[in-house]
Amino acid sequence: MANGIIGKKLGMTQIFNEKGQVVPVTVIQAGPCVVVQRKTSAHDGYEAIQVGFVDPAAGKRASKPEKGHCEKRGVAPVRVLREFKVETENGLKEGDSILVTQFEEKDKVHVTGISKGKGFAGVMKRHHFKGGRASHGSMFHRAPGSIGGSSYPSRVWPGIRMPGQMGSEQVTVRNLEIAKVDVENNLLLIKGAVPGPKGGYVVIKQEA
């Protein structure tokens, strides 16, 4: 059994739990996925499986290298590929399916995705700087302040928090709880929010 699955974020909604309380959940289409390649210590230097997200329209949009990679291993073309580490004795092989049935309600999972891009942002929005006074006469409002002394260090230290691209980076949210599993429609309802926009792909891993 794989310790994770690839999913597609469909959006957020609300459900009622057994106590009648409203619970915000993220709806994720979790698979079906297929094992495209099995990597071994003997051949690749480590044990892992390469998993593809099965999309009926993927065959039409797949590039020649993507089609060739899948056809070589006897599976239908897929465009979204991710790797999962596995143990040597894991019985999964190329062509095997990975389904949402491996998850159960109340399971804890880690969800990894690409966060929403916010574009170029200043230090107040990007790093939550307080900023200067807004009073009359002040000439310091949303600027970052000193980024390095003139005499020492006479340069800007690496890693100084400054304006720049915000978002559009890999984010992992840990220990989220599965509120509901819909096996018929391959859906996972996960409590709370997960990274990324609607239609974005995420990796859902079970807690080790």
- Both 95 and 185 in one domain: the answer is yes
Range(s) of the domain holding residue 143:
123-166
**Judgement on whether residues 38 and 102 belong to the same structural domain of the protein:** yes
* Residue that has been written with the tokens 């060739």 in this structure: 68
pLDDT digits (tens, 9 = 90+) for 39-83: 888 888 888 888 888 887 776 788 888 888 888 888 888 888 898
The two structure tokens encoding residue 136 = 């009359």
For residues 91 and 178, membership in a common domain is answered with yes
Tell me: do 192 and 118 sit in the same domain.
yes
Report the distance separating Cα 2 and Cα 52, nearest Å: 13
User: Helix, strand, coil shares of the chain as percentages rounded to 5?
Assistant: 10, 40, 50
Summarised one tens digit per residue, pLDDT across range 106-132 is 889 999 999 999 999 999 999 999 999
Is the pTM value of this prediction over 0.95? no
Q: Are residues 158 and 110 in the same domain?
A: no
Half-sphere exposure of 142 (CA within 13 A, CB side): 8
Q: Are residues 39 and 97 in the same domain?
A: yes
Q: Does 109 share its domain with 135?
A: no
Tell whether omega for the bond before 32 is within 30 degrees of 0, i.e. cis.
Answer: yes
In Å, the largest CA–CA distance within the chain is 71
Q: Are residues 109 and 137 in the same domain?
A: no
Token pair of 162, please? Answer: 């400054």
Both 74 and 129 in one domain: the answer is no
